[in-house]
Structure formats: structure tokens, C-alpha cells
Structure 1
């Protein structure tokens, strides 16, 4: 980071902390209001007391001085200032630290807007997955193409155990190391998340090929890959995939499948739809 950008970041930190402190009235946190205050909100010493840090240190932080901070102390300041999760992550960035790992929200329903988007991609497969690649929703075309039966699905497991993928052995074998490397890279962002461990443990028992690749400890960047499979009714299908992050829920990824140009996939998908309509 250049000195100019670091200076700008500390200026933004100063303004952010002052604004967050000014919005909290003493009564909001159970403090008595004694006398008249010259400025709105909490005093610096009140924030420092709530955060369990020294008044001088907090003053230096709010002034944007170049001081050493830790995640634990920033969390205490965030709690003292009643920061939301996005505000807490913003505080980390302005203080020069990596944002904290997002706390998973369990049981949150997929919004109607996302479901409508999946359906709008209807002639082509579309899948919504969470951060550990568990499938949260999919459109009807994905159900038909991948053979989903309505039970729990995971994209990593599907790639290794679905016979439709494994039927395209050469393409599958070439892609498998990168798929495993991408999963390991994603897992590193969420240390301590037991769901990644569960997926790896169960898949290692089900697939010797996965277990061998996982033990290599290779890491790969997510790629806009070509997915290939052999459907039992229409034959070989080749898809270009694009992964998009859902803005209001950044732990969710939307996977859109498009027929690869130059292949016969588009025509075969149309034939598959006609077969299903007449079935």
C-alpha cells in the first residue's frame, strides 16, 4: 500500500469512527446524561471504557494515527459502537486488517428474487450454492440435466460421484485437480467451519480419487470452466459456466450454465425439453 493510500485510509477511519460515535446517545447504552454536552453522541472516554481500551489509544485510533491494532481490539470497539456486521468489516478494512470471517446464517430461506432468477434462466441449468458448495436451489433444467432427486446435494460431491460427469472420463480427469484445488482455496477463507470438514470426510470415504487429490494440498483459483457430462437420454453435453456472487448474501454463489459454442449442446437441450414435455 502506498503512503498516499494509507493516509487516505486513515482519514476515512477517523471520519467513520467519529460518525459512529456521534450517532449513539448515552441513554442508548444505559449511561446517565449529566449536564449539557457540547457535541452529540458518546465521548471518547466512554467508548474506550466500553471497549476496555485506554483513552489515549482510542483517541489515537480515532485520529487516524499509524498505530498497531488487532482484530480482538477492533471487535471490542465495534461492540462498543454498536456496529452492524457490514460496519464491523468496514472498520477492519479502514484499520488495515483483513475483514473478519463472516458469521454463517443458518436456515435462511432463499429469497423469491433469487428463485425467480433461477427460473428465468429456465432453458439452461442454473444452481445456487452456499460457501461450502451445498446446493440451496436449482431450476428445473438443472434437475433434469444433473439428475437431482430432491435430496441434499453438494457441487463437489456431484462432480466426483455423479455417473453423468464420470462418463466423460478424459474431461473429468483433466478438470478434477482444479476443482479440488478451488474447494481447498474456498475452505481456507472459513477456518473452523465444520461443514467443509464434513463434506471432505464424507467424500473421501465415497471417492478414492477425491481422497488422493485432497492429500496433495494443491490450491487453484476458481476458473470459468467447461463442464461436460453424458446425459442418458440425449448424450454428451458441454457447458461454459459462470459463477456470480449474490450481492445481498455474499456467501452464496449463482452458477449459470450456457451451452458451449461449437457443440451440439443447445440442440440436445431443446430435444431434452421436448422429451420431458411429451413424457
Structure 2
């Protein structure tokens, strides 16, 4: 990924993932490039091949919204990916690289996490765990302040074993990470994390090169917990007011189910006497 040509890198990566058959182009013979050719994208989007080439090479950085929306249609982008493309097209010239900014959890949010009778943690913009209660840590020992969700999912075998289909979870996590970061790629924390994972995890490197974008939303999560076995929990993601980029993540079971009983068992083991006595580990705030 070129820090100075985010738009060009993105449309090139997405172009390589669209087959001619998907857009109705007949294929004959052997094609030397994966996906669509530049001139094919340009033709389908109604722009000149030269202009599209300038966009990919970063020589034209001010495409209109109409051009970007045409490209989104050709590249078969969904709503999240189209919004991301439009943000890239509206991006301003790169600022001088900033110093790393330490994220801290608002005190009231840390108190809330501490008192919730459910597994809960606060996640920062770069998927750092900023605060977690004891029940979250009982769900996964990696859910502690100072950990990073991306690093654990891609590099920690114990975290991978917790997710029956961890590679599928990894796909969504990378797409959500790109959505969370957006165009703010000059932050030292981002550079450090992407560099480390690109070197240490071939899977991360492949997924990052796809430029998938997807907003992180609530979903049902299936876990294979080493102590209580299979768990199906709902994961809710709530934006933290007054703390840009921070998300409160809460897990909860369907009432009256085996999953609720298993979670109560975990809570009892954590708290000793009272199944919902809270504990907190937090950084900042």
C-alpha cells in the first residue's frame, strides 16, 4: 500500500477481484492480468482509459463523485466500500506525520464496563483493547487492556482455537479495520501494526492486499470455549460518545438457553461468591 496513493491502490486492488464474466465481458484466450483490464474498467465506467490510468497512478487526485460512483458500480462495491471510495476521493493532501496518540477511556465508560454483568470491553480505533471487565477476560484471556484484537486473531493460536472458523472471522476483522482507519494512514500506531502483521502473517498480508471494506456491526458469535464448550453469543458494538473511534463491545446470550447457563457458570467462576460481581482492567481514564 502506498501511503501517498490510497485511491489508486484501492481501485487497482478491487479491479483485480472482478472477473470479466461478472460484468458481461466475453473471454477468449489467456488473460495476462487477474480481474479486469484498466481499459475495460474505463469503458464500463464511461471514462477515458487515459483518465483511469491517471487515477490508478495517483496523477489525478480530484475525481468527481459521479466518476467515483461509476467506478463503484463497475467494481461491484457495496455501500460500505462505496462510501470508503468516496472518502478516498475527497481526501486532502497528506499531513506531516503525527506523533503517536495514546487513546484513553473516559472515566464514566470505564465505570460502566466495570459494572456491566456481561462480558464487555472498549476497543480503540486500531482495535487495541483499552478496557475490559473480568468476565470478558474469562471469555478470552486476550481480552485485557493493552492487547490488540488484530494481533491476537492472526498470531495467537489460543485465540484462533476460540473461534471455530477463525479465518472467516479474520476476513471480517481486516475489512472492519480498514473501515475504522479510513484515510488516516499516517498515524504511527497504524504503520506499526500493519507492518508487523504483514511480515508475521501471510494471511493478513493477502487479506490486506484485497482492500476489503466493511463496517463492524453487531453479529452472532460462535465460540469454542475451553472450559464451557460451545457458546453462541450476540455481540453488540456501540460507539463511545466523546471518544472518537472508540467502541464498547458487549456479549450477551439469549435468555433461558444453555448459552446463558454457560455464561453464568463463567461469571460464577470469575466472581467467586456472586455470579455478577464486576472487575475492571483499564488503561487511561
Same fold, judged at TM 0.5 (above): yes
* Larger Cα-atom Rg: 1
- The corresponding residue for 1:125 is 119
Gaps of 5+ in 1: 1-96
Q: 1:160 aligns with which of 149, 154, 159?
A: 154
The count of residues paired between Structure 1 and Structure 2 equals 183
CA contact (8 A) 2:151 2:197 kept: yes
| Contact 2:185/2:191 (<8 A) preserved | no
Cα distance change, pair 98–189 in 1 and its aligned pair in 2 (3 A): closer
Return the alpha-carbon distance in structure 2 between the equivalents of residues 240 and 256 of structure 1.
8
Change (3 A) 1:261 1:221: farther
Q: CA, structure 1 residues 107+218, in 2 after alignment: closer, same or farther (shift >3 Å)? A: closer
TM-score (norm 2): 0.54
Q: Which residue of 2 aligns with 1:10?
A: none
Distance in 1, matches of 2:104 and 2:210, equals 36
Query: Following the alignment from structure 1 to structure 2, what is the Cα–Cα distance between the partners of residues 148 and 155?
Result: 8
Which residue among 203, 213, 216 is the counterpart of 1:209? 203
- 1:142, CA displacement in angstroms? 1.0
- More helix by proportion, 1 or 2? 1
The offset of 1:267, in angstroms, is: 1.0
Report deviation, 1:133: 1.2
Quickly say closer, same or farther: Cα 1:111–1:129, change in 2 above 3 A.
same
1:139 aligns with 2:140: no
1:1-279 aligned within 5 A: 106-107=101-102, 109-121=104-116, 123-148=117-142, 152-167=146-161, 170-259=164-253, 264-278=258-272
CA contact (8 A) 1:230 1:237 kept: yes
Alpha-carbon distance change, 238 to 158 in structure 1, aligned in 2, over 3 angstroms:
farther
Larger RCO (CA within 8 A; separation ≥ 6)? 2
After TM superposition, the runs of 4+ consecutive aligned structure 1 residues lying more than 4 A away are 97-101, 260-263
Tell me, what secondary structure is at the counterpart of 1:167? helix
Q: Deviations over 1:21-73 (max 9, x none)?
A: xxxxxxxxxxxxxxxxxxxxxxxxxxxxxxxxxxxxxxxxxxxxxxxxxxxxx
1:191 aligns to what SS in structure 2? Answer: coil
